[in-house]
Structure 1
Amino acid sequence: MVFDASAAARDRILLSAQQLFYQQGIRATGIDKVIAAAGVTKVTFYRHFPAKNTLILAFLQTRHQRWMTAFRSALAQQEDLVDALPAALLSWFNDDDYRGCAFINTAAELGNTLPEASLLIRQHKQDMAQAIADKLPTEMQDKTAPIVLLVEGAIVQVQIGEEAEEIVQVLRSALTPLLQ
Structure 2
Amino acid sequence: MDDEEARTRLLDAAEALFYAHGIQAVGMDRIRAESGVPLKRLYRVFPAKEALVTAYLERRDQRWTAGLRDAVTGATDPVGAVFAWLAGWFSEPDFRGCAFLNAFGELGAGPAGVLDVVRRHKAGLRALLGEVAGPGREDLADQLLILVEGATVVAALDPGPEPAQRAGEVARRLVSAARP
TM-score, with length taken from structure 1: 0.90
Out of 155, 163, 167, the position equivalent to 2:152 is: 155
Out of 156, 161, 164, the position equivalent to 1:168 is: 164
Query: What is the aligned-residue RMSD (CA, Å)?
Result: 1.8
Number of residue pairs the alignment of both structures matches: 175
Contact 1:77 1:84 survives alignment (8 Å): no
Q: Which runs of 5+ in 2 are unaligned?
A: none
Q: Which runs of 5+ in 1 are unaligned?
A: 1-6
Change (3 A) 1:29 1:77: farther
Out of 106, 109, 116, the position equivalent to 1:109 is: 106
Residue aligning to 1:3: none
Matches within 5 A, 1:72-91: 72-76=69-73, 78-91=75-88
Residue aligning to 1:135: 132
Matches within 5 A, 1:19-98: 19-76=16-73, 78-98=75-95
Aligned counterparts of 1:77 and 1:18: Cα–Cα separation in 2: 30
Contact 2:87 2:162 survives alignment (8 Å): no
Contact 1:154 1:168 survives alignment (8 Å): yes
Contact 2:97 2:152 survives alignment (8 Å): yes
Aligned counterparts of 1:131 and 1:34: Cα–Cα separation in 2: 33
Change (3 A) 1:16 1:61: same
Contact 2:126 2:141 survives alignment (8 Å): yes
Aligned counterparts of 1:77 and 1:105: Cα–Cα separation in 2: 31
Aligned counterparts of 2:82 and 2:161: Cα–Cα separation in 1: 13
Residue aligning to 1:4: none
Q: Percent identity?
A: 35
